[in-house]
Amino acid sequence: MAQEKKITVQRTIDAPTEDVFEVLTNPERHPDLDGSGFVRSVDNADRIQSVGEVFTMNMSGDHMGGDYQTDNHVTAYSENKMVGWKTAPAGTEPPGWEWLWELAPEGRDHTLVTHTYDWSDVTDEALLEKIDFPLVTQENLEDTLGRLAAAVSN
């Protein structure tokens, strides 16, 4: 049986969908949301507004030998519904993993947030040997949703 190559978590957040989307599309907020501890700060980013945009983040992790940067290529954007990006080492094309956020209103003041980390498109054998996917655990993603809930309530 093939191993699942994605992790999906969900949480209902006590905030309107627009407020959740506002936080997710602002890369300046991403270090506060990151449950993995890899995201340090924004290097170059405006508010996400469309597919095809790229924003750069300062990162740190043992899997990359310390500090590094990523370019995040926006792959999904639907206002107040969905935002997603594929991450790549800065200056390179994405090797295949993606972060996707899907939002569904549950009444006026609650939003069901579905967050997916998907590495099913990673096919580079050398990369698969170097990086032990998943780099980010289900617990990290659940922590990220908790951080998102806190961020929209402030």
With a CB cutoff of 8 Å and minimum separation 6, the contacts of 100 are 75, 76, 82, 83, 84, 114, 115, 116, 118
49-67 average pLDDT score: 92
Q: Where are the alpha helices (DSSP H) in 8-154?
A: 17-24, 30-33, 125-130, 138-153
105-128 average pLDDT score: 95
User: How many C-beta neighbours within 10 Å does residue 83 have?
Assistant: 22
94-120 average pLDDT score: 97
The residue behind tokens 């978590």 is 9
What does the pLDDT read at residue 48? 98
What is the spatial distance between Cα 15 and Cα 2, in angstroms, rounded to a whole number?
37
100-128 average pLDDT score: 95
9-153: in CATH 3.40.50.10860 = no
Q: Provide the pLDDT confidence category of residue 132 given band limits of 50, 70 and 90.
A: confident
Q: Across all residues in the chain, what is the average pLDDT?
A: 94
Please tell me the number of Cα atoms within 13 Å of 100 on its side-chain side: 17
Q: Provide the pLDDT confidence category of residue 3 given band limits of 50, 70 and 90.
A: confident
What does the pLDDT read at residue 2? 54
114-128 average pLDDT score: 94
71, β-bridge pairs: 56, 88
With a CB cutoff of 8 Å and minimum separation 6, the contacts of 16 are 105, 108, 109, 111
